[in-house]
Amino acid sequence: MASSATLSSRRANVQVRPSVTVSELEKPELPLKSIPGDYGLPFIDRVLPEFKACYTELFKTVEYELAEKGKCSFQTPSEQAAFNFLARAFFDSNPVDSKLGTVGPSSANIWVLFQLGPIFTLGLPKYIEDLLLHTFPLPSFLVKKDYKKLYDFFYESAGLVLDEAEKMGISRDEACHNLVFATCFNSFGGIKVFFPIMLKWIGLAGENLHLSLAKEIRSVIKSNGGELSLSAMEQMPLMKSVVYESFRIDPPGKAKKDLLVESHDAVYEVKEGEMLFGYQPFATKDPNIFERAEEFVPDRFMGVDGEKLLKYVLWSNGPETEHPTVADKQCAGKDFVMLVSRLFVVEFFRRYDTFEVEVGPAPVGVAVTITSLKAASF
C-alpha cells in the first residue's frame, strides 16, 4: 500500500526508498526496518505520560467545542494530539516549540495521502477517480515542501536515533528518511485512520458497552494503586477485545515466486511475476471463521476460544499473533499502533461514562463527529 516514490534528499539528489517498501529478498536494505524499533526502545518510559498529557489536551479541546457548538469534529484535534505525542514520546521533542510549530499534522497528512493515493477517494465518480488518482504515480513535487518541513524537524530532533543508525553503517540522511516514514506513515498514519474507526464502532455500540468498559478500566486501575501501566492493561480483557474487533471489522505486490493461494473452496496458482491484489475484509469478515462476521461483537476475542481467532486479524499485513521483522512486509508500527489504540480506549473511559457520535465519509477511513459526552460519574 505504501508508495516507493523518490524522496528528496537533504544532501544530494538521490533516490531513497523507504525500508518498508523494500523486498525481503533485498538483504542490504533489511537493517533499515529495524531502526524505529531497535533504537526507539528508550522512548517506552515516555509513552504513557506523554500520551496522557497530549490526549488530555485533546479531550479539553473536544469538551470546549462541544459546549460552544453542540458538536465537535474528532479529526483535527486528534491529529494534532497524535503528532505531538509521537514526537514527544519518540524523540523527547515538542514540535510546537520548534520551527515546525503546529503544522506537523497538516504536512504529514498531505504526504501520507500521497502514499495512500491508490486507495483514497474524493467522492467523485469511480471512473474519474481511477483515472486521476489510481492510474499513475502522483507527482512528488506537490509534497516536496511539506516533506522537507518534516524531514528537517526529524533530522534536528532524532539525534540519538540517527547516531545509532550511523553505527550500523546507515547514513543519517537515509535513516532520517526512514524515521519520517515510520513515524508519519506507520504510526501517525495508523493513529489517523484507526482512532476514528474505533470511536465509530464503540460509539455506535451504545451505552451498555461504554459502561462495561468504564467499569473494567477503572476497576483495574484502582486495584493497581490508581496508576496505569502496561501490565495493568493486560488485565482488561474486554478493552483488548474491543480494540481487536475494531481492527478486524474495519481494517484499513508482485509475487516473488510461483505459489498457491488457497481459500476454503479452491486453490489458485500464481505464477512468478504476476500481480497480486488483496482485500483484507475478504479474510477478516470470513463467515467460515467469524460468527456474525459483519457485526461488531465487542467480546469476540475474549477467553481461550476468542484468543484463537487473533491469527485471523490481518490489518497489519500479517496475523495479529505475529510480530514484524526485517524479513517480512508486516507493518513496522503494528505493535505500537495496537498499544496506543488500547491507551486511547483506556484514557477515554477513565474520563467519560458514555458518548454519542455521527459518522460520515472521509478520503481514508471515516469522519467522526462527537455530539455528546457524559463525564465519569463513578
Contacts of 37 (CB under 8 A, 6+ apart): 332
Q: What is the pTM of this model?
A: 0.83
- Cell numbers given for 267: 486453490
Rounded to whole angstroms, the Cα distance separating 150 from 41 reads 22
Q: CA quadruple 371, 190, 89, 243: dihedral positive or negative?
A: positive
Question: Between these two residues, 325 and 213, which has the higher pLDDT value?
Answer: 213
pLDDT at 43 over 70: no
> In Å, how far are 119, 131, 199, 207, 274 from 350, measured between CA atoms?
35, 47, 15, 15, 50
Q: What is residue 306's DSSP assignment?
A: H
pLDDT by residue (tens digit) across 211-259? 999 999 999 999 999 999 999 999 999 999 999 999 999 886 433 445 4
Rounded to whole angstroms, the Cα distance separating 105 from 87 reads 11
pLDDT by residue (tens digit) across 137-164? 778 889 999 999 999 999 999 998 899 8
Give the angle 140-122-134 at the CA atoms, nearest 5°.
50
pLDDT by residue (tens digit) across 296-310? 999 999 999 999 999
Rounded to whole angstroms, the Cα distance separating 107 from 110 reads 5
Picking from 95, 82, 62, 66, the residue whose alpha carbon sits closest to that of residue 343 is 82
- The answer to whether 331 is a known ligand-binding residue is yes
Rounded to whole angstroms, the Cα distance separating 351 from 374 reads 9
What average pLDDT does the structure give for the chain?
84
User: Chain-centre distance of CA 58, in angstroms?
Assistant: 18
Contact 32, 324 (CB under 8 A): no
- Cell numbers given for 359: 459518522
In the chain, where the domains are located:
19-375
Cell 508486516 found at: 330
Contacts of 45 (CB under 8 A, 6+ apart): none
pLDDT at 355 over 50: yes
What are the helix and strand counts (H, E) for the chain? 15, 5
**CATH 1.10.630.10 applies to domain 19-375:** yes
**Amino acid identity, residue 237?**
P
Picking from 55, 52, 69, 54, the residue whose alpha carbon sits closest to that of residue 370 is 69
Residue 363's pLDDT is 78
Taking the CA atoms of the chain, what radius of gyration do you get in angstroms? 21
Residue 265's pLDDT is 62
